[in-house]
Amino acid sequence: MLRVLFKCILKVVYRTEVRGLGNFHKAGARVLIVANHLSFLDAVLIAVFLPEKLMFAVNSHIAKRWYFKPFLALVKAFPLDPTNPMSTKSIINEIRDDRKCVIFPEGRITVTGSLMKVYEGPGMIADKAGAQILPIRIDGAQYTVFSRLKGKVRIRWFPKIILTILEPRTFEVGEELRGRQRRQMSGLKLYDLMSEMLFDSSDHRQTIFQSLLDQSSIHGRGHLIAEDANRKPLNYGRLITRCFVLGNKISKDTAHGEFVGVMLPNMVSSIVTLFALLAKSRVPAMLNFSTGSKNLVSACRTAKIKTVYTSRKFVDAGDLAPLTEAMEEAGVRVAWLEDVAASVNLIDKAIGLLSGFFPSFFQRLAPSCKPDDAAIVLFTSGSEGTPKGVVLSHANLQANRYQLASRVDFGPTDIVFNALPIFHSFGLTGGTLLPLLSGIRTFFYPSPLHYRIVPELIYDTNATIMFGTDTFLSGYARFANPYDFYSIRYVFAGAEKLKEETRKLWSEKYGVRIFEGYGATETSPALSTNTPMHNKPGTVGRLLPGIEYSIEEVPGIDHGGKLIVRGPNVMKAYLFSDEPGELACPENQTYDTGDIVSIDEEGYVVIKGRAKRFAKIAGEMVSLTAVETYLSDLWPEHHHAVVSVPDPKKGEALLLVTDKPEATREVIGAFAREQGIGELSVPKTVMAVKEVPLLGTGKTDYVGVAKLVENHAEQ
pLDDT of residue 436: 95
pLDDT of residue 189: 87
Q: How many CA atoms lie within 13 A of 440 on its CB side?
A: 27
| 290: confidence class by pLDDT, cuts 50, 70, 90 | confident
Burial of 233 (0-12, 13-18, 19+ CB in 10 A): middle
Contact 398, 568 (CB under 8 A): no
Answer whether residue 176 shows pLDDT above 70. yes
At 204, the amino acid letter reads H
In tens, the pLDDT along 344-356 reads 999 988 988 888 8
| 394: confidence class by pLDDT, cuts 50, 70, 90 | very high
Question: If you average pLDDT over residues 603-629, what whole number do you get?
Answer: 78
Please state which CATH number belongs to domain 2-200: 3.40.1130.10
Report CA-CA distances (Å) from 223 to 68, 216, 236, 347, 640: 36, 8, 6, 26, 45
Q: How many CA atoms lie within 13 A of 415 on its CB side?
A: 20
Please state which CATH number belongs to domain 208-605: 3.40.50.12780
Question: If you average pLDDT over residues 64-88, what whole number do you get?
Answer: 66
pLDDT of residue 245: 94
* SS3 call for 512: coil
Lowest mean pLDDT among 352-356, 393-397, 475-479, 676-680: 676-680
Answer whether residue 672 shows pLDDT above 90. no
| 382: confidence class by pLDDT, cuts 50, 70, 90 | low
pLDDT of residue 223: 93
Distance, in Å, from the CA atom of 238 to the CA atom of 168, rounded to the nearest integer, reads 44
Question: If you average pLDDT over residues 466-491, what whole number do you get?
Answer: 92
Question: If you average pLDDT over residues 211-230, what whole number do you get?
Answer: 92
| Selected catalytic residue, list 37, 534, 639, 640 | 37
CA nearest neighbour of 397 among 563, 572, 623, 583: 572
Report CA-CA distances (Å) from 209 to 244, 257, 276, 363, 380: 11, 15, 9, 9, 24
- Is residue 559 annotated as a catalytic residue, yes or no? no
β-bridge partners, 35: 136
Question: If you average pLDDT over residues 109-137, what whole number do you get?
Answer: 85
At 699, the amino acid letter reads K
| 487: confidence class by pLDDT, cuts 50, 70, 90 | very high
Is the backbone peptide bond immediately before 525 cis, with ω within 30 degrees of 0? Answer: yes
pLDDT of residue 570: 95
In tens, the pLDDT along 401-418 reads 999 999 998 888 899 999
For the chain, give every domain's residue range. Answer: 2-200, 208-605, 618-714
Contact 312, 276 (CB under 8 A): no
Contact 597, 560 (CB under 8 A): yes
| 62: confidence class by pLDDT, cuts 50, 70, 90 | low
Q: What share of the chain is helix, strand, coil (3-state, %, to 5)?
A: 40, 25, 40
Distance, in Å, from the CA atom of 269 to the CA atom of 239, rounded to the nearest integer, reads 9
User: Could you tell me whether strands 526-529 and 514-519 are parallel, antiparallel, or unpaired per DSSP bridges?
Assistant: antiparallel
Distance, in Å, from the CA atom of 387 to the CA atom of 298, rounded to the nearest integer, reads 9
Instruction: Return the number of other C-beta atoms located less than 10 Å from residue 600's C-beta.
Output: 11
pLDDT of residue 680: 81
Answer whether residue 489 shows pLDDT above 60. yes
Give backbone dihedrals phi and psi of 260, rounded to 5 degrees, phi first. Answer: -115, 125
| 60: confidence class by pLDDT, cuts 50, 70, 90 | low
Report CA-CA distances (Å) from 124 to 105, 179, 180, 542, 564: 11, 10, 10, 21, 32
| 632: confidence class by pLDDT, cuts 50, 70, 90 | confident
Contact 326, 297 (CB under 8 A): yes
Give backbone dihedrals phi and psi of 450, rounded to 5 degrees, phi first. Answer: -85, 80
The per-residue pLDDT of the chain, averaged, comes to 87
Lowest mean pLDDT among 96-110, 545-559, 654-668, 689-703: 689-703
265's CB contacts (< 8 A; 6+ apart) are 314, 318, 421, 446, 447
Answer whether residue 536 shows pLDDT above 60. yes
pLDDT of residue 567: 93
Question: If you average pLDDT over residues 242-266, what whole number do you get?
Answer: 93
Any idea which fold 618-714 has? GMP Synthetase; Chain A, domain 3 (3.30.300)
Can you list the positions of beta strands (E) in 524-670?
A: 526-529, 542-543, 548-552, 561-566, 573-575, 583-584, 590-599, 605-610, 614-617, 620-623, 640-647, 651-658
| 651: confidence class by pLDDT, cuts 50, 70, 90 | confident
pLDDT of residue 568: 95
How far from each other are the two terminal CA atoms of the chain, in whole angstroms? 92
Report the percentage of the chain scoring pLDDT > 90.
Answer: 47
Distance, in Å, from the CA atom of 18 to the CA atom of 36, rounded to the nearest integer, reads 15
Instruction: Return the number of other C-beta atoms located less than 10 Å from residue 679's C-beta.
Output: 10
At 143, the amino acid letter reads Y
